[in-house]
């Protein structure tokens, strides 16, 4: 690109100038020329410390992810005639999962001729739903999938008491964030644009 519109490191409008002069301007300040709007005519570039910009952007993204709630679908298997002791044990697990903000996938497993009496599975699911009705609601009604009856319940609003957790494990797999790409020799293309500057056109000399 023969020329670019330049935004200074302080956010001021420097104006339109040949690309090589813009690169020299950034170099004299010990900074980089970063393309922030390649679709403009001419493209808009900003003089900045790109390494610091990437670092601060990464910090903001991590902070945002830290405060995002991750909903997990917990599967609980039951039998059409689960005994009282086992049922109470699983109900405690269900209540804890719901209190943490997770959904529960209730699975009734039929064996042998139990499959000809699906109403026994429905009765067991109703027992569970009634037992947690104060903190849960049905999100997916009972449905047969082969020899299994499935129902999904989710926490009601205002009952979530998320358990505090420590820092998560280091990510495994995947590729690290891609580095800057050159839109033009010496010009770095920003992966995320900085706050927009004024659209006031530069003064012509």
Q: Which residue has the tokens 């009604």?
A: 141
Closest CA relative to residue 187, chosen from 21, 29, 39, 54: 21
- 3-state SS record for the chain: CCEEEEECCCCCEEEEEEHHHHHHHHHHCCCEEEEEECCCCCCEEEEECHHHHHHHHHHHHHHHHHCCCCCCEEEEEECCCCCHHHHHHHHHHHHHHHHCCCEEEEEEECCHHHHHCHHHHHHHHHHHHHHCCCCEEEEEEEEEECCEEEEEEEECCCCCCCCCCCCCCCCCCCCCCCCCEEEECCEEECCCCCCCCCCCCCCCC
Once rounded to an integer, what is the mean pLDDT over residues 172-178? 45
Read off the pTM: 0.47
Average pLDDT (101-122) is 94
pLDDT digits 0-9 by tens, 113-158? 999 999 999 999 999 999 999 999 999 999 999 999 999 999 988 7
Q: How confident is the model at residue 197, as a pLDDT?
A: 45
* 17-34 average pLDDT score: 91
For residues 70-77, give the mean pLDDT.
Answer: 86
Q: What mean pLDDT is predicted for residues 175-183? A: 45
Name the band, by pLDDT with cuts 50, 70 and 90, for residue 71: confident
Give the pLDDT confidence score for residue 166 in this predicted structure: 41
pLDDT on residue 69: 60
Which pLDDT score is estimated for 48?
93
| Average pLDDT score over the chain | 81
Q: Which domains does the chain have, with CATH numbers?
A: 3-66+181-189 (3.10.20.80), 73-155 (3.30.110.10)
167 has pLDDT over 70:
no
């Amino acid at each position: 690109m023969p020329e670019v519109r330049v935004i200074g490191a302080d956010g001021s409008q420097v104006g339109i100038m040949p690309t090589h002069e813009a690169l020299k301007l950034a170099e004299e300040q010990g900074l980089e020329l970063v393309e922030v709007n390649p679709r403009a005519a001419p493209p808009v570039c900003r003089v900045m410390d790109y390494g610091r910009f990437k670092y601060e952007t990464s910090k903001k993204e991590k902070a945002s992810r830290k405060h995002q709630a991750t909903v997990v679908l917990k599967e609980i298997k039951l039998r059409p005639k689960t005994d009282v002791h086992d049922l109470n044990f699983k109900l405690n697990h269900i209540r804890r999962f719901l209190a943490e903000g997770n959904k529960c996938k209730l699975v009734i497993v039929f064996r042998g001729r139990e499959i000809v009496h699906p109403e026994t599975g429905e009765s067991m699911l109703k027992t569970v739903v009634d037992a947690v009705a104060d903190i849960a609601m049905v999100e997916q009604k009972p449905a047969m999938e082969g020899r299994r009856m499935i129902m999904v319940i989710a926490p009601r609003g205002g009952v979530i008491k998320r358990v505090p957790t420590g820092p998560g494990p280091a990510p495994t797999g995947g590729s690290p964030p891609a580095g800057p790409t050159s839109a033009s020799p010496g010009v770095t293309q920003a992966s995320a644009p900085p706050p927009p500057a004024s659209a006031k056109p530069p003064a012509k000399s």
